[in-house]
Structure 1
Amino acid sequence: MMTRDQRSAARSMIIKGELGRPPSRQRAEFDELFARGPLGDDITLAPRTLGGVPALDVQVEGADGDAVILYLHGGGYVVGSARTGAGLAAPLARRTGLAAVSLDYRLAPENPFPAAVDDALAAYGDLLGSGRRIVIAGDSAGGGLALATMLAARRDGLPLPVAAALFSPWTDLTLSGASLDSRGDVDPLFSRAHMAEYAEHYLAGHDPKDELASPLLADLTGLPPLLIQVGSAEVLLDDSLRLAVRAAEHEVDVSLDVVAGAPHVYPLMAGVMDEADQALDHAARFLGDALA
């Protein structure tokens, strides 16, 4: 189990950012944290496009070419990139033995809703044309975007991915989760005000109840098996808990991992928290079992 020292170390690595920072500054700070880290000598990144959207091929030596992971990065729909997404796409590729593609979807406020959904759907459709089996994964806003992409694909009559792995997904832009308030003091990264700021940038006045903005509110019937991983020390805890319940109510196979005291997208803490490595191992087994 995660030791008290590991929990303390993981949370001490994170600080709440100031509200009202320009997106350009937030992006630079996010990249400084997440776009510079080593991915391992066995990982190769190569630029490409998918459906006209920039992306990075995340290749691991000896990867199985029959299936692919479509990875959607987090960052509140405002920050992040294909390179920051590679921080989780790469260990998933390594553990599954699959190739991955990390998508550089357009960001708000310059490109508000539904630009991210349109980009992810275009990329997904392009991957479908390759004939490879697809699993989809994403963290935070990217987890919500993974759900929205599947809903949009279902709407358009496209085949759905084999499975989806969601790390601390942001699923409700109406901001109705009780944990936005009850976990605000223990979340080292976000408060309700942070999430409201991101939502305002992304929605730009659009109805937050739109199911492609808040997939928690959608009919999830027919979606593939879902794995949700979340920490208890985050304001988005309820976005995961309620998603698991709703998926079950709609007859979707769903697995939920909750780690007490873990912060937002705790699998990024691999090497610092034992549970982070275990979470990635579980996600890889889940995706591999679904493909098998």
Structure 2
Amino acid sequence: MARAGEDLATAPIDLAIERIRAVYRTWNRDTAVAQMRGDWDAAFGGGTAAVTCERVSAGGVDGEWISPANAPEHKAILYFHGGGFRVGSVASHRDLIAQIALASGFRVLAINYRLAPEHRFPAALDDAIAAYDWMLGKRLTPGNVAFAGDSAGGNLVLAAMLALRERGLALPVSAVLMSPWTDLAATGMSYVTRADADPIHQRPMILALARDYLGGQGDLRDPLISPLYADLRGLPPLLIQVGARETVLDDSVMLTDRARAAGVDVSLEVWDGMIHVFQMFGAELPEAHRAIASIAAFLGQHLHIKAERAPS
């Protein structure tokens, strides 16, 4: 939100919004998915964070280790990027991931899971689990691994943990969710109450992405598709961050309520004036730095290394 006396047109949040709109306004019904992905990566890729990046095949899934200096080898974060299961990649999210790595002191494995419409549910979920299995094969233990993800990636964080639990396998020690997309049926009242406040995401767009992910098959309320409807018992501690302007705000609020009712240790942070995955906009938003500092503190608490605060 603009400070007192500040021109709203130059408020930092408006700079972030314009970056997104600059991409969206070039698309129409005839824009190819490949073009959308290229545009998204070009708009949000890059970054100058002091990390090392190493390409790997994580159980057959294309991935990248993003590591700060002196990161412990026996602790790591597995990151799932957002993009509505249609766009997004390690490239588009590399700077955000790098900032989390730097602030927390932990190395991060980020993966390019398969995207729709070419690869529909459960391809992305299968890739997420394959990458986790690969990490455990590298002598990382579940107690030394945390999951993190934004938007559709937040969905994958939850779905992967639910699938692992169903198989009787060990879960990660904790998980971070940024603007998680937990309800592909889009039932939250925030789609109405935040429709005017959210400059980007409206319910028809969300439902179109959901249809794309499922391809006309499956139940939108299947817990592995929409984790909001899952039995959440037994999940590890969760940190959820969401912007107060988001139409998908209730995806986080309702998930928090259901998780707490199931006995899960969950912390919800609703950031005033912020938009979907505002943490990506560190160049524009001081709130992004503070949110990442909170993420780092949470990860440090559960991975048992004191995290340094990100700059405010």
Place the TM-score, normalised by the shorter chain, in its bin: over 0.9
- Match for residue 140 of structure 1? 151
Task: Give the aligned length.
Answer: 290
SS at match of 2:73: strand
CA contact (8 A) 1:163 1:290 kept: yes
* Rounded Cα–Cα distance in structure 1 between residues aligned with 2:52 and 2:147: 20
Structure 1 residues 156 and 19, CA, compared in 2 at 3 Å: closer, same or farther?
Answer: farther
Structure 1 residues 282 and 13, CA, compared in 2 at 3 Å: closer, same or farther?
Answer: same
CA contact (8 A) 2:42 2:92 kept: no
Q: Deviations over 1:193-218 (max 9, x none)?
A: 11111111101122111111100100
The question of 1:25 aligning with 2:35 is answered: yes
Q: Which amino acid aligns with 1:6?
A: P
- Tell me how large the CA RMSD over aligned residues is: 1.6
Task: Tell me by how many angstroms 1:116 deviates.
Answer: 0.4
Q: Deviations over 1:1-40 (max 9, x none)?
A: 97463333333433255563432222122111122x2142
CA contact (8 A) 1:181 1:191 kept: no
- Match for residue 240 of structure 2? 228
The question of 1:6 aligning with 2:12 is answered: yes
Q: Which amino acid aligns with 1:28?
A: G
* Rounded Cα–Cα distance in structure 1 between residues aligned with 2:253 and 2:128: 24
- Match for residue 250 of structure 1? 262
SS at match of 1:257: strand
Task: Tell me by how many angstroms 1:130 deviates.
Answer: 2.1
CA contact (8 A) 1:43 1:61 kept: yes
* Rounded Cα–Cα distance in structure 1 between residues aligned with 2:172 and 2:153: 15
Q: Please give the residue correspondences for 1:12-91 in structure 2 after superposition, counting only pairs within 5 Å.
A: 12-15=18-21, 17=25, 18=27, 20=29, 21-35=31-45, 37-40=46-49, 42-91=50-99
Q: Which amino acid aligns with 2:16?
A: A
SS at match of 1:46: strand
Higher alpha-carbon Rg? 2
Which of 164, 182, 187 is the matching residue for 2:198? 187
- Match for residue 162 of structure 1? 173
Which of 197, 214, 223 is the matching residue for 2:208? 197
SS at match of 1:58: strand
The question of 1:100 aligning with 2:108 is answered: yes
* Rounded Cα–Cα distance in structure 2 between residues aligned with 1:226 and 1:67: 18
- Match for residue 283 of structure 1? 295
Q: Which amino acid aligns with 1:181?
A: V
- Which structure is richer in relative contact order (CA contacts within 8 A, separation 6 or more)? 1
Runs of 5+ consecutive residues of structure 1 not aligned to the other structure: none
Q: Please give the residue correspondences for 1:198-213 in structure 2 after superposition, counting only pairs within 5 Å.
A: 198-205=209-216, 206-213=218-225
Task: Tell me by how many angstroms 1:233 deviates.
Answer: 1.2
Runs of 5+ consecutive residues of structure 2 not aligned to the other structure: 305-312
Identity fraction in percent: 43
